[in-house]
Amino acid sequence: MKKEHHNAELENQNIADQDTQELENMLEQASREAQEAEISPLIVKIAELEKALQEKEEIAKNSQIAYLHLKADFDILQRQTDQKIENANRDAKIKIVKKLIPQLENLRKSLLNLNDEQKESTMGKGLLMMQEGFYKVLGEMGIEPIASMGLEPNPQFHEPVSMQPVNDEALKGKIVQEFEQGFVYKEGEEVIVLNPAKVVVGS
């Protein structure tokens, strides 16, 4: 009788343990499902945010590229505009000076034809001051006379118009007279001949 009672207790205990285990399993499953129910929307939201971030990054990248292209185009246009303005200013200077060159040449020849007494006269000094004033203004504009006397003719700057016999061997092949003064425009490394110097070469 006692044995049967003991067996019944064991069976009841086993049933209770099974029920407890099932309950624990159910609770664990319910907890897991609850966590998944809470986490799943977050995972979806994170994925959506990551996608949106990638799209924004792509837009930002494309915008940066577009900005760089636009800036490069602007810089090129700015340089071209600046260059056109510089060229226009230069061409305007050259045009004006070319019109003045004949008057400058007349003034130079007038001074060369003055004797010593005339050079010291009021008129002579006035003409000299006028010439110096012209040269000063031209220099400020980047325009200089072409050096000639005693040099070998340079086709870029000199135009020989005649030959002149000379006794000094050192002057043969050299410029011995400046028939007409030449001028150049200089800006940095750029040199533009406005008019070549017309010269006489020793022979």
Q: CA 132 to CA 118: how far, in whole Å?
A: 17
Superfamily of domain 142-203: Head domain of nucleotide exchange factor GrpE (2.30.22.10)
- pLDDT value of residue 149: 92
pTM for this structure?
0.60
Chain segment 47-58, per-residue pLDDT in tens: 777 787 788 888
- pLDDT value of residue 20: 59
The per-residue b/e assignment along 135-162, b for 16 or more CB within 10 angstroms, e otherwise, is eeebeebbbbbbebeeeebeeebbeeee
125 Cβ partners below 8 Å, 6+ apart? 119
Q: CA 158 to CA 117: how far, in whole Å?
A: 32
Sequential pLDDT tens for the chain (203 residues): 444 545 555 555 555 556 556 656 665 665 566 555 566 676 777 777 778 778 888 887 887 887 787 788 878 878 888 888 888 888 888 888 888 888 888 888 888 888 888 888 888 888 888 888 888 988 888 899 999 999 999 999 999 999 999 888 888 999 999 999 999 998 888 889 999 999 999 98
Instruction: Name the phi and psi angles at 200, rounded to 5.
Output: -110, 130
Domain layout of the chain by residue ranges: 1-134, 142-203
CA distances 73 to 28, 70, 190, 203, Å, are 66, 5, 27, 59
